[in-house]
A and B are shown apart, each in its own frame.
Chain A
């Protein structure tokens, strides 16, 4: 009789144990799903890659560097770009108040460097820091050797 009572008691303890496991799994799954879906989908890498191609097409034609005047160079106008971010969240509020891009084109011609910079320069130090796995601006660097048409 004694062993019978212990057996029933053991089953109950096991049931509570199982329900606790269910509860822990449920909390883990629900919180994991909420964390995953609350973050915006990161398309910065793709966006930076496309922007990089656009800039290359803007400055280089048939493998040759185009002629251009660096002073008063309007990057948006010359390259057909509009870099004002107009993305908004579900409530219609602006996602970002600041400029979302920093573009830097370093052109080295016979030791004389031309640098065209556009956007928020405070993003530049983040280049090469992606490994820190924090929410930092994505940096896309592309180096090309082309013929100077000048």
Chain B
């Protein structure tokens, strides 16, 4: 009788563990995909391009780009490039990835990076 109870308990424990492992794997998979460099690059390139498009002359805009820098795999390289000559934003965080997105605002755009309280910010100055 005792063995039977132990057996039932063991089966339930194993089943619960399998279920927990399954949902943990699903959560990890979704988390991994949503935080992949590909999606971060695309989101940030489009976000910066839209900010530049919407900006008026003589504007200074500060954009939080900490996520890009914290997950950047290209050591020493700047992951965000704003090409004001050719009107596009490039976000490249690893060797095999990179995303360019164009902006249509012809105004001169200069950019610089700053760090405040350990977070990286992009400062856009629209001429």
Which residues of A come within 8 Å of B, CB atoms?
Answer: 11, 15, 18, 22, 25-26, 29-30, 33-34, 37, 40-41, 43, 46-47, 50-51, 53-54, 76, 80-90, 92, 101
Contact = CB atoms under 8 A, between A and B. Distances in A.
A76 B98 CA distance: 28
A33 to B, nearest CB: 5
B87 A84 contact: yes
A95 to B, nearest CB: 8
Contact of B105 (A22, A29, A30, A81): A81
B60 interface: no
Interface residues of B, number: 34
9 contacts: A37-B36, A37-B38, A40-B42, A41-B46, A51-B53, A82-B87, A84-B87, A86-B86, A90-B96
A50 B22 contact: no
Given A86-B88, A87-B88, A80 B39 contact: no
A41 B42 contact: yes
Nearest to B53: A50
Contacts of A50: 50, 53-54
Given A15-B15, A46-B50, A82-B106, 6 more contacts: A22-B19, A29-B30, A33-B29, A40-B42, A43-B50, A88-B100
Contacts of B96: 90
B10 interface: no
Contacts of B26: 25-26, 29
Interface of B: 11, 15, 18-19, 22, 26, 29-30, 33-34, 36, 38-39, 42-43, 46, 50, 53-54, 86-88, 96-107
B100 A86 contact: yes
Contact of A86 (B34, B97, B102): B102
Given A50-B53, A89-B99, A81 B39 contact: no
